[in-house]
Amino acid sequence: MRRPIVLGFVIGALGTAPARSAADDLEPLSVTGGLRGTTAVLTVRYRIPVVGPLHEASTLDLVIPGGAVATRARVQAGNVTHALELTRSDRALEAFDALAERAPAAARRWAVLLAGDDGSLTVSVAAARTGAFTLDVDLAMPTCFHRDVRYIAVPAAWRGVLGPSPLASVRWLPPSPAPLASVRWLPPSRVLRVQPAPSEAIGIACRPDETDGKETWVGLPSLHLARRPAGEPRIGASAARVELGATHVARVELEIAALLGEAPGDLSTVLVLDGSRSMTPAQLDAQRALVAAYLRAAPTSRVQVIAFARTAK
């Protein structure tokens, strides 16, 4: 069943738009966002073509991440931006249908109806004539904490507008009771970036029961635990509860930093490696990788490497 979540009325003219394919119409132009507490807040921008005057011919499905909720939407027609109103689904449908079926007038109004379902949004437009407008949709969705990064799984169609690794362009937004309107959104050039680690490893950590290795994961750095003193302070937890009538839904999350401890600054270490002729190239490479990893983890320590050779008796 379609559940409309946003209804907006706009008075004005639509800009002309070039011909586009159906596949292009469904893909976002940009995706920006950040973290508010443990929740990812995103702004997805679309260029929506419309066909007037019949609104049935101007309905498009927009794919969004599973579990995401649309919280706000704005329409930009020409140089004017209009915020869509959040309202009940039955009232939204009645008002939209009434406006779409109204007889033509000198100053014709057009309407935008944004209906939400799990993993998709449907945009219906009652327009006076053919044209196009820009639609910005704000989304909120839960995240998965793994090794100092919070991850979200996004549709594969978004990959073309996501930045490359490494993760460097996402701003962390501290928890605040302020509405989403006060969030300082990243500029369009600072887009979300695809995570650098193997998707399969993240899928196992975040979705152990439904991982197929095909997800497109986006990472948002969350370093609040890593910045704490080593030890127990780097273990945290978060909890939230929402009331849905007689049903209460609670979510509890245990957070553990990627590194619980730190190497002492005066550490002295002796690493003994096997230098026997029986060692294969792969085994030797593995030893070198272990030494390099140790040096990265304890850069201020003094390290001595000793190789020994086994003698067959």
Predicted confidence band of residue 194 (pLDDT cuts 50, 70, 90)? low
Question: 266: helix, coil or strand?
Answer: coil
Whether residue 187 has pLDDT greater than 90: no
b/e per residue 116-136 (b: at least 16 CB within 10 A)? beeeebbbbbbbbeebbbbbb
Give percent helix, percent strand, percent coil of the chain, each to the nearest 5. Answer: 20, 40, 40
- Per-residue confidence band for 1, with pLDDT thresholds at 50, 70 and 90: very low
β-bridge mates for residue 210, sequence order: none
Q: Tens digit of pLDDT for each residue in 22-61?
A: 434 467 888 888 888 889 999 999 988 776 665 554 678 8
Q: What is the pLDDT of residue 234?
A: 94
Q: Residue 93: which pLDDT band, with cuts at 50, 70 and 90?
A: confident
Q: Under a CB-based contact definition with an 8 Å cutoff, are residues 94 and 4 in contact? A: no
Among candidates 50, 22, 71, which has minimal Cα distance to 123? 50
Task: Collapse the DSSP code of 96 into the 3-class scheme (helix H, G, I; strand E, B; otherwise coil) and give the result.
Answer: helix
Taking residues 264-276, report their average pLDDT: 85
Cα(193)–Cα(175) distance, rounded to whole angstroms?
A: 22
Mean pLDDT of the chain: 74
Per-residue model confidence (pLDDT) at position 52: 65
Give just the sign of the alpha carbon dihedral 138, 140, 146, 148. positive
For residue 109, is pLDDT > 50? Answer: yes
Q: How far apart are the first and last CA of the chain?
A: 78
What one-character-per-residue DSSP string does 71-126 give?
EEEEEEETTEEEEPEE--HHHHHHHHHHHHTSPP-SS-EEEEEEEEETTEEEEEEE
Per-residue pLDDT for 11 more than 70?
A: no
How far, in Å, CA of 264 to CA of 267, rounded?
5
Question: Which whole number is the average pLDDT over 268-283?
Answer: 89
Which of 25-29, 161-165, 269-273 has the lowest average pLDDT?
A: 161-165
